[in-house]
Amino acid sequence: MSLFLAVVLQLCLAALLASGALCLYRMLLGPRSADRAVAFDSLAAVFIAIICVLCIRWNSTLYFDAVWILMLVGFLGSAAIALYLEKGRIF
Amino acid sequence: MPIVIDALVAVLCLAGTALILLTGIGLIRFPDVYCRMHAAGKAGTLGVVFVVVGATVHFAGTDQDVWVRGLLAVFFQFLTAPAATHLLARAVYVCDYPPTAVTAVDELREYLAPPSGAELLAITEREESKMLTRILVGLDNTASTDIAVRQAIEVAQRHRAQLTGIAVVDTRALERIGPIPIGGSHYAKRLREYRLGAAKIESDGAIARFESACNAAGLGYEAKQLTGDPFDTFAAQARYHDLTVLGMQFLFYHGVIAEPRNPLGRLMKRGMRPIIAVAPASRGIHQVLIAYNGSVEATMAMKQFVQLCPWPDVSADLVWCGEADYDARELLTEASAYCRSHGLAVEVGDAPASGRDALLDYATRRDTDLLVIGNSTRDFFGSFLGDLPGKAKETDRLSLFLNQ
């Protein structure tokens, strides 16, 4: 791995962490559960991106499967929250 | 060419990260949940796809199956992100989360928006009119029944109710002709046949007139001819109707044999309520007199009338009809407050009318069209019903709303 790529990846990691902090801040701020659900959705995206970047950084595909698993779990979570908000129950 | 691949990976990662950072900034800076969802949905999706593609490109040279996993992830992201955002947006909209004040277009409003105040009012009005959905009308061939049918049609149109008209032929009562002298059985048979035939013709004619009146009004109706004891039949039919309308001089035996005494009282005794007995010279209901004496029955009659509200725009008088009571004023005031809270324009009558004649005098003086009365004092009620159809001149405009 070239030094150039390593620096870029560190930069990306920092930006992703900043974005995750912003999402967390919105999650704390609310003001209503819908805002928190949206923030949760983007936090899942941030996690996925962090995993990808770390995979490249560590030069290992060990955690690459976590990407699409997290995607599915994030989707199910969002769908469940949406159903709960709309109907007051999930099933 | 590792340097080219590294450069490509770096560009993809930077682009994806930039988009995800924009998502975070949008989440903080945008004014309402729909704008935030826009930032999270679009920038987030594309950012993740860029980063995943970057990782896939990075490992493509060393690992063969990473292509599959990378493409799978991209595919899932494109599949799930729009669906999740859409579900969430819809749920938020349904939860009455107001968009920011600068929102210009809201196309979903007419499909999904929670009902506004005016719409809620319309819904409750529709619900209220559900109090009166089926009206039973007794049919015979007299002029007073024609007026009763006309008024029932008017009420049914106002409440979008359905009319059921029934004509009853009591075969057993008609065939009962008492002791037959020797050799008279032939004539007895002819008498029976004549009576049955006459009653049949009368009731067929009544049904035909009812049907043509309903058709002229364009109203949903059902007309039935039934046999059996008229009181039992009416009571059984009235069980599944909200209101029964009869002519004041209703002929239970179609005038073929002698009519029973106090028919309305007998109907009430069989648990039939509420009944509107329409006066033969009724000109529509505009002025109502509610006779009240503080008893449970009188209260029920008043409440039933107020809740059914067959004529919403009448004005009403509330008068004391029992013995003079020291707290009559107070009871009348409270009862009138109840009526007003249901939207009935009601006045408390000035002079307490104790006794039937005083009440009828009062009704005549006030030009009353309908008297609301409960079976309060049994004697009072009985004498009222027994005598009323006879008092033609004084009360031929006074219809009755009866409830026991």
- Whether residue B112 lies within 8 A of chain A, CB to CB, comes out as no
Range in B83-97, B152-166, B259-273 with the lowest mean pLDDT: B259-273
Tokens of B217: 């009004």
pLDDT above 60 (res B27) = yes
Read off the pLDDT band of B221 (50, 70, 90). Answer: confident
Chain A residues touching B44 at Cβ < 8 A:
41-42, 45
- Cβ atoms B351, B271 nearer than 8 A: no
Establish if B45 touches chain A: CB-CB under 8 angstroms: yes
Instruction: Kindly give, in sequence order, each residue whose CB lies less than 8 Å from that of residue B192, ignoring residues fewer than 6 positions away.
Output: B174, B175, B177
Mutating which of A4, A50, A52, A85 best tests the B interface, going by the most B Cβ atoms within 10 A?
Answer: A52
pLDDT at B126 over 70: no
Nearest residue to B398 via CA among B367, B373, B352, B354: B367
Please indicate whether, in this complex, the C-beta atoms of B70 and A26 are within 8 angstroms of each other.
no
> Is A75 close to B73, i.e. CB distance below 8 A?
no
Chain B residues with CB-CB distance to A86 below 8 A: 90-91, 94-95
Query: pLDDT tens, B57-71?
Result: 888 877 778 888 888
Q: How confident is the model at residue B392 (pLDDT cuts 50, 70, 90)?
A: very low
Contact at CB, A52 and B51, closer than 8 angstroms: yes
Q: Which residues of A touch B51 (CB under 8 A)?
A: 12, 48-49, 52-53
- CA–CA dist A49, A55 (Å, integer): 10
Q: Angle between the B2-29 and A3-29 helix axes, to the nearest 10 degrees?
A: 20
Give the C-alpha separation, B56 to A55, whole Å: 10
Q: Which of A26-30, B188-192, B357-361 has the lowest mean pLDDT?
A: B357-361
Q: What is the pLDDT of residues B83-97, one digit of tens each?
A: 888 888 888 887 777
Q: What is the mean pLDDT of chain B?
A: 80
Q: How many residues does chain A have?
A: 91
Residue B272 has pLDDT above 70, yes or no: yes
pLDDT in tens, B168-188: 888 888 888 778 888 788 888
Q: What is the pLDDT of residue B112?
A: 61
| In chain A, % of residues over pLDDT 70 | 96
**Of the given ranges (B143-152, B200-209, B265-274, B345-354), which has the lowest mean pLDDT?**
B345-354
A82 and B54 within 8 Å at the Cβ level: the answer is no
Q: Which residues pair with B278 in a beta bridge?
A: B247
For residue A21, the distance in angstroms to the closest alpha carbon of chain B comes to: 8
pLDDT bin (cut points 50, 70, 90) of residue B110 is low
Give me the mean pLDDT over the B120-148 stretch: 75
User: Which residues of B fall within a CB distance of 8 Å from A89?
Assistant: none
What is this structure's pTM? 0.55
Percentage of chain A beyond pLDDT 90 is 30
The predicted pLDDT at position B400 comes to 81
* pLDDT beyond 70 at B376: no
pLDDT digits (tens, 9 = 90+) for B304-326: 888 888 887 788 888 877 666 66
Q: Of A32-41, A48-57, B18-27, B357-366, give the lowest mean pLDDT range.
A: B357-366
What integer pLDDT is reported at residue A11 of this predicted model? 92
Q: Do B76 and A72 touch (CB under 8 A)?
A: yes
Note the pLDDT of residue B19: 93
What per-residue confidence (pLDDT) applies to B22? 92
In DSSP terms, which residues pair with B289 in a beta bridge?
Answer: B317, B371
Cα(B266)–Cα(B23) distance, integer angstroms: 79
Complex ipTM over 0.95: no
List, in order, residues 6 or more apart from A88 with CB less than 8 Å away: none
Work out how many CB contacts closer than 8 A connect A with B: 178
Q: Is the pLDDT of residue B384 over 70?
A: no
Q: Are A32 and B33 an interchain contact pair (Cβ–Cβ within 8 Å)? A: yes
Touching check for B84 and chain A: CB below 8 Å?
yes
Interface contact B10-A4, CB threshold 8 A: yes
Q: Which residues of A touch B81 (CB under 8 A)?
A: 75
Q: Is the pLDDT of residue B285 over 90?
A: no
pLDDT of residue B377: 47
pLDDT band at B350 (very low <50, low <70, confident <90, very high): low
Q: Do you find a cis peptide bond into A31, omega within 30 degrees of 0?
A: yes
pLDDT winner (highest mean) among B12-16, B116-120, B272-276, B322-326: B12-16
pLDDT at B354 over 70: no
Instruction: Measure the CA–CA gap between B400 and B278, rounded to whole angstroms.
Output: 7
Of B106-115, B127-136, B257-266, give the lowest mean pLDDT range: B106-115
pLDDT at B385: 58
Q: Which amino acid, B330?
A: E
Query: What is residue B390's predicted lDDT score, i.e. its pLDDT?
Result: 44
Q: What is the pLDDT of residue B157?
A: 82
pLDDT at B195: 85
Residues contacting residue B140 through CB under 8 Å, at least 6 positions apart: B167, B202, B203, B206, B247, B250, B251, B252, B254, B255
